[in-house]
Amino acid sequence: MLEQASGWSEASKSALLSALGDRSRHGLDHVSFLEADDGASDAELNQAALRFARALARGVVDPATLHDPFTLSEARVDEAALQRTLAAAVAKGRIGEWLASLAPQDEEYARLSQAYLDLSAQPRDGGSPPLGGKLLKVGTSDARVPMIIEQLTDGGYLPIGDVASRAASGERGIVYTHDIAGAVKRLQRDFGIAADGVIGPKTVGVLNLSPGDRARAVAVALERRRWLSRTPPPTRIDVNTAAARLRYYRDGVLADTRRVVVGKPGTETPLLQSPIYRLVANPTWTVPKSIQNGELANVGADYLARNNMTVRGGWIVQGPGPQNALGLVKFDMINKHAIYLHDTSAPELFDRSQRHRSHGCVRVEDALGFAQMLAQDQGVTEEWQAAQTSGEQRFVPLKSQIPVRLLYRNVFIGDDGQVAYRTDPYGWNAPIAKALGFPGRAEARLRSGEADIAP
């Protein structure tokens, strides 16, 4: 029989109520854990403590109920151990310390926590976005322009400091210039809004600048962090599909970061964890049946010849070379979903602000340079260079597999050390926010535009 905490002293009860009262630190202030503070029985206190403990240790939501597949290494909770340690914490009067130890302890979680507290303390203005009001057109000076610049910069539509340093001041604020409107047009095209550069209600919905909206997004980010194992592999590749960025950690230290192209809405890059086990030089590409029977269903012999493609056993196969959709290197990963990292024959896509356009795989900026880095770290540089210069498909096994985590974080700590915000391109925030007790809201979705013929 599982051990139950008993004999709750006033001090232990007070410590639990204090911890529950401070649950906003974890973005959980909209979740109820104890129905009534006054007169709660020991059994009710036990259940409240365990519910809060589970939320801190592994999250409120089971990610497998939202995402299929979901193979990221999750935080594990031993229910019997949880009840034993609760009983010990009650007996020793250390409820507060016990609960605090269950949440992620890393710097990023702490900074996101503080961001949530700061945003929650700001006035909500009844939930109305601060960009509400009259339409904003080029040439108008308006106090809202700095907020627009901030969000466009966060989303990668403006270089940091570029427009802000050159923006002119007018009688009513900063002037809304053609440069800023150009960035707004790019954002509007990505979200299926008429690309006129005029900031109206639909564009305001994408810019999403109210403190309440940002607080909601940070709470979701904290929940996603609680899902994951507290000890990620020290050497790993993390791909943030929401931001379309890759980070390579070597022995726990950030060694490299670069842009990527990831899945578009409808063919999203899934939440997976699987390792790279070999580099493939000059890969061939066997076109998946979904693409062969879709985008390539009506192509003729001329198209196949122009693109170095042949039909083998009913499958379209593209030969190696710079024209290949996989580019000149593929990073083979072990998973049953045919998801992997690779080069591309269209490097110009990395210059786009919105890089959600693939069929689910991840295209890596300067993939040859990245492959060279991994080969050097793995001690297989000679083998890799020989395979690369052969001009033929060659396989170079790594001496040790490199874990890859395909994550989805539209709020995170950026390379500059600040909290960074992105839009929710896949619309994956809403069910998590609902489970955390936030009211529903209409959210702008990234437009599912044309994907090119590549995985």
- The set of catalytic residues is 342, 361
Instruction: State the Cα–Cα distance between residues 20 and 22, nearest whole angstrom.
Output: 5
* Residue (of 437, 409, 412) closest to 425 by Cα position: 409
Reduce the secondary structure of the chain to three states and give it as a string. CCCCCCCCCHHHHHHHHHHHHCHHHHCCCCCCCCCCCCCCCHHHHHHHHHHHHHHHHHCCCCHHHCCCCECCCECCCCHHHHHHHHHHHHHHCCHHHHHHHHCCCCHHHHHHHHHHHHHHCCCCHHHCCCCCCCCECCCCEECCHHHHHHHHHHCCCCCCCCCCCCCCEECCEEECCHHHHHHHHHHHHHCCCCCCCCECHHHHHHHCCCHHHHHHHHHHHHHHHHHECCCCCCCEEEEECCCCEEEEEECCEEEEEEEEEEECCCCCCCECEEEEEEEEECCCEECCHHHHCCCCCCCCHHHHHHCCEEEECCEEEECCCCCCCCCCEEEEECCCCCCCEECCCCHHHHHCCCCEEECCCEEECCHHHHHHHHHHHHCCHHHHHHHHHCCCCEEEEEEEEEEEEEECCCEEECCCCCEEECCCCCCCHHHHHHHCCCCCCCCCCCCCCCCCCCC
| Count of CB atoms situated within 10 Å of the CB of 286 | 15
Instruction: State the Cα–Cα distance between residues 29 and 22, nearest whole angstrom.
Output: 8
Residues 6+ away with beta carbon under 8 Å from 314: none
Instruction: State the Cα–Cα distance between residues 320 and 382, nearest whole angstrom.
Output: 21
Q: Which two tokens stand for residue 18?
A: 């204090």
Contact (CB, 8 A) for 232 and 248: no
Contact (CB, 8 A) for 364 and 342: yes
Query: How long, in residues, is the chain?
Result: 455
